[in-house]
Amino acid sequence: RMDQALLLVRNELPAPGLNLAARSGSCHQCLYQLLAFVPPSNESQKPGTASVVVDTQHPLTLLLNSSVGDRDLCKIQYHFGEFGNYSLVVKTLSTSTQSVSCDLIINEGPINSYLPILFAFLVYMGILAILIAGRLLMKIDPVRNWVYKKLNPRATDRMINSELGSPNTTDSINCDPTLQSWNTGSRQRLRSLDTFRGLSLVIMVFVNYGGGKYWFFKHESWNGLTVADLVFPWFVFIMGTSIALALSSMLRWGSSKWKVLRKILWRSFVLILLGIIVVNPNYCLGPMSWDNLRIPGVLQRLGFTYLVVAALELLFTRADSGTWEGRFPALQDILPYWPQWIFILVLETIWLCLTFLLPVPDCPRGYLGPGGIGDFGKYPNCTGGAAGYIDRLLLGEKHMYQHPSSGVIYQSTMPYDPEGILGTINSIVMAFLGLQAGKITLFYKDQPKQIMSRFIIWGTVMGIISAILTKCSKEEGFIPINKNLWSISYVTTMSCFAFILLLLIYYLVDVKKWWSGAPFLYPGMNSILVYIGHQVFANYFPFKWKMQDSQSHAEHLTQNLTATTLWVVISYILYRRKIFWKI
C-alpha cells in the first residue's frame, strides 16, 4: 500500500526464534511495537522466514531480540522507500563468540514518491510563466490594440477595472471584514491582507482535501510542525489584523459602539452555528444527533475568538487613530491599550496555571504528551494532559473530535479535540497579536518604512520568545511547539512567521505594487464562502472522483490540486461579478 514497503526476515539462527519490533523515528520516547515472530532455522538448516509491512513515511529503528530471555541481537536504523522490497538476513558470524550479523538487502528498489510534487510544481510554474508573458505582451501597443478589437470593448473595460481596482466596501465587520484605506478620501482595500488570508485559505483547502496523502501535508502527530500546521493560526492572525482596521473604519464613519457590538455578537453566533451544524466531522458517525455532535471546531473557535478580540478592541478603540501624544511615541500602538495587554496576560496566566498546575487523574501534573505508547507507555490515557481532561470533563468524550492526529504514530485511544476549550485561550492571544499588526498599519499610515520595521521587530521578538520556550528543540523545550495543544510556543512561532510573511506580501503588493496578489487575493476576499463550500462539497464531483489507483500519491495529488484550483477559479469568478458573501 501507499507509504509502505515489504520486509522479508530470514533467520538462520537455531532455536528459540526471534522477535522483530520497530519504532518510528517520529515517535518520541515510544515503546517498540512487535511486528512479527521469526521462527528459527530447522534441522535441515532451512532458515525461518517472516514477512512484514513497514512504514516508509519516517525512519524506523528495527530491534531483533531472542524470543526467550529478551536478549537484544541487533538494532538497525533505516528509512525504507515506498513500494520497496527488502530482506533482513540474520545469521551467526562466530559460534565461539556468539556474535550475530543482521544484513539489510534491497531486493527491489523503491519508487520516488516525491516526483509528482516536482511535476505539479513545474506545471504551475509554467502556467505562471504564460500569464506573466501574456501580461507583458499586453503592454505592447499593437498587441493590446489587436486584443481590444477582438474582444467586446465593454467586457474588456470591465476586466481591466476589476483587475486594477477593488469592489466597493460596506460598513461591516466579520471574519472577512471590509478594510478602509489609510486616508479618509479613498476606500480601497489593503490588498496585502486579502492576499495573506487567501494564501492561508488555499493551503488550508489543499491540506483538508488530503494534500496528496503526503505526511508533511498532514498535521504533525504531536510536537513539531508540518505545512498543515501553519495555516489555521495564520488565518486567526489576519482576522485580528482585519478587526483593527474594520473597527477603526466603522467608528470613524459614525457607527455607534452599541451598533457595532450587535454586529459582533450576531456574526460570532452565526459562525459558531455554522461550525456546529454545517461543518461537523462527526457526521461520519451517522445522521446528526446530540449523542455524537462535536461541539468544538474551526469555525466555532474562529467565532469565539472573534467575539473576544473584537469586543476587547471595541471597548478601547478610538475613532481617531492619529498620532498618540504620550511620552513614548515609539510605543503608540501599545501603551494606549495597556488594559488590553493586562487582559491578555491574565488569560495567558490562566492557560499556564491550568496546563501545569491542574490535577489530572492518573496523570502527572503539567503533562504535555500524547499518551498512548509515548513516554514509554507510562500514561496511555493522558493524551493532552489538562487540555484533554477539561474537554472530556465539560463536553464529554462523544462531543469531541474522535480521531486525533496522535492516534496514528502514538496509538493513543482517547478522544482529543485540537480545537478544545483550553487551546482557545491561545487562539485569542494569536488574534490579539494580529490585532497589533492592524494597529501598526493604522498608527503609521502612509509610512511604509515604519510599518515594515515594526513588523520586523515584532517578528524578531516573537522568534526570540519561541527560541527560549522551546530551547530550539522539537521535544526538549520548556513548552514544545504543539498545534494540538495550541501551546504558547506554537502561537509565538506562528506569529513570528506571520509578521515576516505579512511584511513580504505588504512590500510586494501594497508598497512596490510588483504583485497584484493574484490568485490568492480572490479566495481571500470570499474566505467564508470558500471555507464552508470546500467542506460541504468535498465529496462531490468535480472536487472528488473515483480513482483508478487509490494507492498512488500522484492520483491523490492531482485530485487535491484540481479541487483546490477549482475553488480559486470560483472565487475569481465571484470577484469579477463583485459577489462577496459576508456574515
Which residues are known to be catalytic? Answer: 219
Burial of 548 (0-12, 13-18, 19+ CB in 10 A): exposed
**Separation between Cα atoms, residue 424 and residue 422, nearest integer Å:** 5
**Separation between Cα atoms, residue 522 and residue 175, nearest integer Å:** 15
Main-chain phi, psi angles of 450, to 5 degrees: -65, -40
Question: What is each CA distance from 479 to 343, 344, 357, 466, in whole angstroms?
Answer: 22, 19, 14, 9
Which cell goes with 309? 478580540
Give just the sign of the alpha carbon dihedral 252, 256, 258, 260: negative
Q: Is 565 helix (H, G, I), strand (E, B) or coil?
A: helix
**Separation between Cα atoms, residue 480 and residue 473, nearest integer Å:** 8
Residue (of 199, 224, 202) closest to 211 by Cα position: 202
DSSP string, 440-469: HHHHTTT-HHHHHHHHHHHHHHHHHHHHHH
Beta bridge partners, 380, equal none
**Separation between Cα atoms, residue 523 and residue 530, nearest integer Å:** 7
Give just the sign of the alpha carbon dihedral 155, 160, 162, 166: negative
**Separation between Cα atoms, residue 509 and residue 529, nearest integer Å:** 24
**Separation between Cα atoms, residue 482 and residue 181, nearest integer Å:** 37
Main-chain phi, psi angles of 5, to 5 degrees: -135, 160
**Separation between Cα atoms, residue 469 and residue 479, nearest integer Å:** 5
Question: What is each CA distance from 35 to 378, 483, 497, in whole angstroms?
Answer: 21, 30, 40
Determine the Cα angle at 269 with ends 293 and 238, to 5°: 100
Q: How many CB atoms lie within 10 A of CB 81?
A: 17
